Chains A and B, each alone.
Chain A
Amino acid sequence: MPGDPTSVITILRERFADVDFAPAPLIDRGRRRADDQMGVRIPPDRLLEVMRFLHDDPRCRFDQLCDLTCVDYSEFHGATDRYGVAYSLLSTVHNHRLWAKCFVNDPAPSVPSVVGIWKGADWLEREVWDLFGVKFEGHPDLRRIVTWEGFESHPLRKDYPLRGRGEREDFDVVTRESA
């Protein structure tokens, strides 16, 4: 069975006493059942330091970045920040997971890149940049990945319409003469 992540949170609080991690279960089920999926908040300016600690410390040892994604909270009730960059960390040694969230805002949302810690963050960060427009400072090759170069919007933002902004209809047709 997966390990209990609460010990990791205790360790984090001891090591970084000045950071408010606000640990909370990902979903609050009230009294129904204690949930084993825990999330913490990390401020963007302390992100690299905390992540490095989580990766290196033998009691945490989050050696795999399972997933890195982002949520645009602009239409979420009661949210104060717009972009939540979510890191899903996994320890293959202790078999525990932890979700870390880093909140950033318009204009020019940006968080430090964790490619130096987990190589697997490479494409994931490119994807978040592509679809949400959150910049990753220090990423060696931050290009768009699933949309094309020259595409200007960030489609997974909540203000981007489902049917697009006409990119499909107004696409330049390359003819034999013009090529």
Chain B
Amino acid sequence: MPADTQVEYGVATYAPEEPGGDVWVLNLGPQHPATHTTLRHVLELDGERVVSCTVHIGYLHSGFEKLGEHLNYNQYVVVTDRMNYVSPMANNIAWHHACERLFDIEITPRCKAIRTIIAELARIQDHLVCVGCSGLDLGGYTPFMYLFNPRELILDLFEEVCGHRFTTSYTRVGGLMQDITPGWGAKVKRFCAEVLPLALDDFEKLLTRNRIFIERTKGIGYISREDAINWGLTGPLARASGVRRDLRKDEPYLCYADNWDGQGSAGVDFKVPISEGGDCYARYLVRLAEMRESARICLQLADNIPSGPVDVLPLEKVTLPDKREIYSSIEGLIHHFEQIMTNRGFRPPVGEAYGANETANGELGFYLVSRGDNTPYRARCRPPSFINYQCFPHLVVGHQISDVVAVLSGMNIIAAELDR
């Protein structure tokens, strides 16, 4: 990138090598294979060099936050599936993490362990797509297919617990839709111990030391540590720029916190990969390392998921009672009725709460305002893609047009989450 590039407030500018030379405009998107979904970039180009980039988003805006004001705390989980559709499970967990923060519920150890495993599988799945696509967008089709095989197996694991591959809607306030099936833990273990490491090794042989790949990604889309913090970057993008921050360590929740089962167990043991590179290659390496760490977390938990119920006790009046309870006892029937009827249901405290999870793209948080009734008064989503994507013009100005694609796939922008 030339030294005289000036960047201010997201509108990057670039001084052409020949002043007065032709600058032409190229529309990348909204329909373009490299944008993956509907995004539009208006690129001003000096030859093949990007002079300025303006991003237009909103093609997939569907008013999720407005809908959140009209759906109750359990219904909205269906909408969160559609936000980051690459890892819907992580969104489900983040949404109900925020709800439980508002309701002040401590979920059961079994539920925590299951949610942690699922959150890590979702992270692996999201990263598989992202690193696979960063190879695909630069012309390598084979590595992409190598990673889609293990991804299918993760989707099978999801399907087994909740019946869906993508639109999972697995979590509920204070618990889960249903308990896991017997033997599921062993399947997770087999996947994380045997299938995934092998697939990643094969994949790395193709790409990590591939000269073409390195030349296309190293030094491309650089962002410094200070800039990354100032632009609000989180997740692998920030960590690839040397920001030491991971909500799983800094604000531990679920099984990442110590004493998660109430019996003094230490939180799961894992490392947070960090790179100082700040470019596309560093992001790729951080994601790869994160997958291996996630697999380690799953292995620690898969064998010892605590027994007991997955839902909090019915005393909390947030979860539906067991079906046998409903059909055989008057208390269960009344409780079920109280939960289901539209003029009853949840009674959260009045106030506001923010709950955030570390998902594959960064900090996914929900800021809830409650009036004390069945639906949130305001359901704000802090979407990592939206906030990460702002600095895109800053990253591509001064690079070649083909690098725009490399930067875009390295950022893993999911347009449904971007526009909501």
A122→B61 contact, CB < 8 A: no
- Is A33 on the interface with B (CB-CB < 8 A)? yes
B349→A28 contact, CB < 8 A: yes
CB distance from A146 to the nearest CB of B (A): 4
Closest A-B pairs by Cβ, 4 of them = A120-B232, A27-B351, A146-B58, A146-B61
Given contacts A29-B349, A119-B390, A145-B57, 20 further A-B contacts (CB under 8 A): A26-B352, A27-B370, A63-B230, A66-B365, A66-B382, A71-B369, A71-B380, A77-B350, A95-B250, A99-B354, A115-B9, A119-B230, A120-B230, A120-B231, A123-B390, A145-B58, A146-B58, A147-B61, A155-B66, A162-B66
- For residues 362 through 402 of chain B, which have their beta carbon under 8 Å from a beta carbon of chain A? 363, 365, 367, 369-371, 377-378, 380, 382, 386-387, 389-391
CB distance from B287 to the nearest CB of A (A): 20
- Is A12 on the interface with B (CB-CB < 8 A)? no
- Is A67 on the interface with B (CB-CB < 8 A)? yes
- Is A76 on the interface with B (CB-CB < 8 A)? yes
A29→B104 contact, CB < 8 A: yes
Closest-by-CB residue of A relative to B418 is A146
A2→B369 contact, CB < 8 A: no
A–B Cβ pairs within 8 angstroms, 5 of them: A2-B251, A67-B380, A92-B245, A131-B65, A162-B70
CB distance from A40 to the nearest CB of B (A): 13
Determine the distance from Cα of A64 to Cα of B390 in the docked complex, in whole angstroms. 14
What residues of B have a CB within 8 angstroms of the CB of A162 in the complex?
66-67, 70
Determine the distance from Cα of A161 to Cα of B145 in the docked complex, in whole angstroms. 45
Report the count of interface residues on A (CB-CB < 8 A): 48
Determine the distance from Cα of A67 to Cα of B386 in the docked complex, in whole angstroms. 11
- Is B10 on the interface with A (CB-CB < 8 A)? yes
Closest-by-CB residue of A relative to B63 is A155
What residues of B have a CB within 8 angstroms of the CB of A65 in the complex?
232
Closest-by-CB residue of A relative to B383 is A67
A27, A32, A71, A124, most chain B CB atoms within 10 A: A27
CB distance from B370 to the nearest CB of A (A): 8
- Is A148 on the interface with B (CB-CB < 8 A)? yes
What residues of A have a CB within 8 angstroms of the CB of B244 in the complex?
92
- Is A88 on the interface with B (CB-CB < 8 A)? yes
